[in-house]
Amino acid sequence: MKRIPDNKTNLVLAAILVALGVAAALTVGSSSSSGAAVTRTATAQRGVVLSSVSATGNVEASQSLNVNFITGGQVTAVDVEPGQKVTEGEVLGKIDSQSAQLAVDQAEAQLTSANAQLTNANQQAQTSYAQALLALKAAKAGVSTAKANQQMNGRTASMSVSQAQQQLRLDRGKEQRDLNQQKLDQAQLAADQQAYDAIGPTVTADQTALAAAQAKQQADQQAQYDAQATASTNGTTLSNAQSQLSKDQQAETTACNAVPATPAACTAAQQQVAADQSAVSSAQSAVAQSSSNTTSAQKTLSADSYAVSQAQSQLQTDQATQSKYQSAVTADQNALKADASAIIADELSLAHDRTAIANAQNSRESGALKDSQAVSSAKQSISSAQLGIQTAKQANVTQQESSVAQAQANLTAAQLTLSQTTLTAPVAGTVTQVNGVVGAMTSGGGTTVVSSSSSSSSSAGGSSTTGFVVLTNVSGLQVTAGFSETDVAKIRDGQPAAVTVDALPGTKLAAHVVAIDTTSTVVSNVVTYNVTFAFDNPTPAAVKPGMTAEVDVIVAEADNVVHVTSSAVTGTGTTGRVTVLVGKQQAVRQVVVGLRGDTTTEIVAGLRAGETVVLPTLNISASSSSSSPFGSASTTTGRTGTFRGGGGGFGGGGAIFGGP
């Protein structure tokens, strides 16, 4: 466990004495009458701020300890072996520290960056202050300029009124022209819309006529095709009949000229020729008729084509007329939109003109008053600017100082995590078991106490414990106390503590945390966690096992910091406010808060050591004020300091702090 050097011990004791002195030196205002409001003050000091938690427990004989890393990791070194005796603080083993070292490096880089930004903020604040002084000088020079401009401003304002009124008249004329144009465009739209609506039925009729002509043309084309097919068939029939007639005529000649003559055959042949001539004549008539039909169909089809062409031409003409009217309607609608936009713009211009007239008139009427106020305003701007400069500077620098404080806190936390990768003996004892090997993973959980019952059963059963290292033969006494859920979350292995034994009133014994139970103890529905403490020094002979003891554990500490009485600070988190007393004037100031201790609060930025802050007012009687050993001073009571274990203690023999 880390021990505090003697010079740090003296610092802590000095801080405690200073804090006690501050508590006794709180200044009281007027107390001449009973029940008067008292102005109490305190001085910001530089010293130590401590925060602690308390619980009651019992002194008991030391037991075996399961010593574990706080967090798990891969084992990189095992520095002890069973049977080895170790002293308090001796290294037992190590786990991989690469990620923890990386976190420390990153935190250091962030702290370096935050310090650089703080330096830059201070430089910027100084530059801003110098620039503001120049601005103030210019403001003073502007007073005389404002007086010289007073008359000119009056003339300019009157001219502005006249110009605005003239512009209003011009804009009214433009609006009237735009309204007239809107009426014309509306009339034109109505006419074009009417024409467009009228041409619609005509286009529909044209489309119907075209469809009818195309249907008739299609039917006549079919008729022409049928006539041509019939003509082709009739031509084939005529050709066949003529061919048959020629054959039968040859047969007739042969039959009638035969020797000897055959009258019957001749007559039959002649009859056949007559029949063939009749068939040829009939076929010729059919061919002539189909030819006539084809010619007629061609003429009809030609007339149909002309009719379709005429219908298409008429439809295109009427559609072109419809498109023209539609374009005209669209153009009229766009013109109306443009007219509406122009009228809106005219209305805006008129409103702007009226506003300009009103502003110019107001400017003319208030110009003299403004000019007279400019002088006093310029004078006031000097003090206002100075206050604003200080406020801006403080806000910017305070923010960066807060970032530095946060970066420092992150570095401290990262360094703590890095230090926890090395496991040390919380107390002196004998190593009985080593349950870790290099390269293996080990779980965390911190050091726990092995009760005598569990130790006995473990030995009898031959099973191993869960500690990375098991320590036995721990010398001396220890204290076990139950802390609430809220308080135990703030406690860590190795934290310093002070033990007060009821049998030895007024004596505090230095100790430190060696084990924190991971399971809770519930008594009457109250949840507590047992924490074991080892004494840093040999205990007095009067301390016996079973005695009742009260334990105070320091859970946070800030050394060599500016701090004030906690009641002087309002706000939550790192943002706070204090009321500073300068002479007889009080001013509320924004501050950056660090550690909120038991009785005092760390001020990271916004307040310097030696400045006076105002405490909450109290109504006290004259008799109570006069009874104060400090005359008119009011005192507060409470813990203004505490202890820090380690080394040789604060008073030898383990007694480190005696006080109220």
Q: What DSSP letter does each residue of 240-273 carry, written as one string?
A: HHHHHHHHHHHHHHHHHT-SS--HHHHHHHHHHH
SS (H, E, C) 195-241: HHHHHHHHHHHHHHHHHHHHHHHHHHHHHHHHHHHHHHHHHHHHHHH
State the pLDDT at residue 548.
93
Fill in the amino acid letter for 550. Answer: E
- The arithmetic mean of pLDDT across residues 378-404, rounded, is 66
Whether 458 has a pLDDT exceeding 60, the answer reads: no
State the pLDDT at residue 22.
45
Q: Residue 48 has what DSSP assignment? A: E
Q: Which conformational region is residue 644 in: left (phi greater than 0), alpha (psi within -120 to 50 degrees), or beta?
A: beta
Q: Tokens 């050993």 appear where?
A: 629
State the pLDDT at residue 550.
95
Alpha carbons 40 and 118: distance in angstroms, whole number? 34
State the pLDDT at residue 643.
37
State the pLDDT at residue 190.
93
- The arithmetic mean of pLDDT across residues 508-519, rounded, is 88
- The arithmetic mean of pLDDT across residues 118-136, rounded, is 73
Are 344 and 144 contacting, i.e. CB atoms less than 8 angstroms apart? no
Are 606 and 561 contacting, i.e. CB atoms less than 8 angstroms apart? no
Question: Given the DSSP bridges, would you call strands 448-450 and 422-424 parallel, antiparallel or unpaired?
Answer: unpaired
Fill in the amino acid letter for 524. Answer: S
State the pLDDT at residue 500.
94
State the pLDDT at residue 215.
93
Alpha carbons 468 and 66: distance in angstroms, whole number? 7
Alpha carbons 267 and 278: distance in angstroms, whole number? 17
With residues binned 3-state (H G I as helix, E B as strand, rest as coil), the percentages for the chain, rounded to 5, are 55, 25, 25
Higher-pLDDT residue of 473 and 48 is: 48
- Report in angstroms the alpha-carbon separations of 495 from 311, 411, 487, 555, 653: 108, 18, 13, 7, 20
Q: What is the pLDDT of residues 221-261, one digit of tens each?
A: 898 899 889 989 999 999 999 999 999 989 888 888 888 87
Q: Is the peptide bond before 201 cis (omega within 30 degrees of 0)?
A: no
- The arithmetic mean of pLDDT across residues 640-645, rounded, is 38
Whether 28 has a pLDDT exceeding 80, the answer reads: no
Nearest to residue 438, comparing CAs of 47, 4, 74, 83? 74
The answer to which of 224-238, 474-488, 553-567 has the lowest mean pLDDT is: 474-488
The answer to which of 228-237, 438-447, 616-625 has the lowest mean pLDDT is: 616-625
- Domains in the chain: boundaries: 158-370
State the pLDDT at residue 481.
94
The answer to which of 101-110, 114-123, 340-349, 628-637 has the lowest mean pLDDT is: 628-637
The answer to which of 86-100, 138-152, 205-219, 316-330 has the lowest mean pLDDT is: 138-152
Mean pLDDT of the chain: 80
Nearest to residue 564, comparing CAs of 511, 520, 603? 603
End-to-end CA distance of the chain: 28
Q: Which conformational region is residue 2 in: left (phi greater than 0), alpha (psi within -120 to 50 degrees), or beta?
A: beta
- For 398-403, the CB contacts below 8 A with 24+ separation are 398/590, 398/591, 398/592, 398/605, 398/606, 399/121, 400/114, 400/117, 400/118, 400/120, 400/121, 401/118, 401/592, 401/604, 401/605, 401/606, 402/574, 402/592, 402/604, 402/605, 403/114, 403/117, 403/118
Whether 393 has a pLDDT exceeding 70, the answer reads: no
Whether 469 has a pLDDT exceeding 60, the answer reads: yes
- The arithmetic mean of pLDDT across residues 496-518, rounded, is 89
Rg, the chain, Cα only:
58
Report the largest interatomic distance among the alpha carbons of the chain, rounded to a whole angstrom: 191
- 223 alpha-carbon distance from chain centroid: 83
List the Cα angle 219/225/228 in 5-degree steps: 145
Class of residue 502 by CB neighbours under 10 A (exposed 0-12, middle 13-18, buried 19+): exposed
Nearest to residue 511, comparing CAs of 475, 470, 471, 552? 552
Strand partners, 101: none
pLDDT band (50, 70, 90) for residue 53: very high
State the pLDDT at residue 1.
39
